Amino acid sequence: MVSTSTLLAFIPVFLFLSLLPGLCMTLALSLGVSLGFKRTTWFMYGELLGVFLISLMAILGVSIIILDFPFLFNIIKWGGSFYLIYVGIKMFMSSSEESMFGDQSTNESTRKGLFIKGFLSAIYNPKGWLLLMSLYPTYIDYKKNLWIQSSSLLSISLLIEGSVMCLYILSGAKLRSYIQKNNKEKYIKKISGAMIACVGLMIIIV
């Protein structure tokens, strides 16, 4: 079992990292605005699966391979950056007459599309890889039962990540209600697109 002192140290650190408005949370907020809370939860499910896989690799030490072969990390970094820039520009350039709240039947807005988008957002998030690779080994005692510790920390991590993402999606959904009342869809659409594209550019620059 994970000691109480370890949990008391791990939980606030992971909570703080999850609260930071990074790549996935920015997308969750934007999707909450455009699609509402219920539909955006499929994005969250995909993102949580991605976080789970990265966390598991970090605990097992597999993710160290990424550091030993920088080109693999660069693939993740550039892939994530261009993916975000593409999504942001696509949203920014969409017709102002095209409502954000109309029929969202495109492939990217289906349950499967949102799930895949969430998964790719987690996998293509280089900051996520770096943070999780440095975080988990700090709180794992490799002399004790690894699977018990892993299951405990992973369960807590996913619970925190999911809860924080729900808050971001809910914030977007609340903003959606405000937009609908004030008929300002086109402005928020462009702001959301610009924000997502800027996150992609920041990943390249930093």
**Cα 169 to Cα 118: distance, rounded to the nearest angstrom:** 13
Handedness of CA 193, 187, 34, 101 (dihedral sign): negative
**Residues of the chain where predicted confidence (pLDDT) is lower than 70:** 1, 62-70, 72-73, 94-109, 183-189, 191, 203, 206
Nearest of 125, 95, 80, 101 to residue 31 by alpha carbon: 101
pLDDT score at 50: 94
DSSP string, 113-152: HHHHHHHHHHHT-HHHHHHHHHHHHHH--TTS-HHHHHHH
Query: How many Å separate Cα 178 from the centre of its chain?
Result: 24
Domain that holds residue 24: 4-205
pLDDT score at 100: 44
Its pTM stands at 0.78
Task: From residue 41, give the alpha-carbon distance in Å to each of 27, 44, 66, 153.
Answer: 12, 5, 29, 23
pLDDT score at 102: 44
pLDDT score at 101: 42
Q: How many domains does the chain have?
A: 1
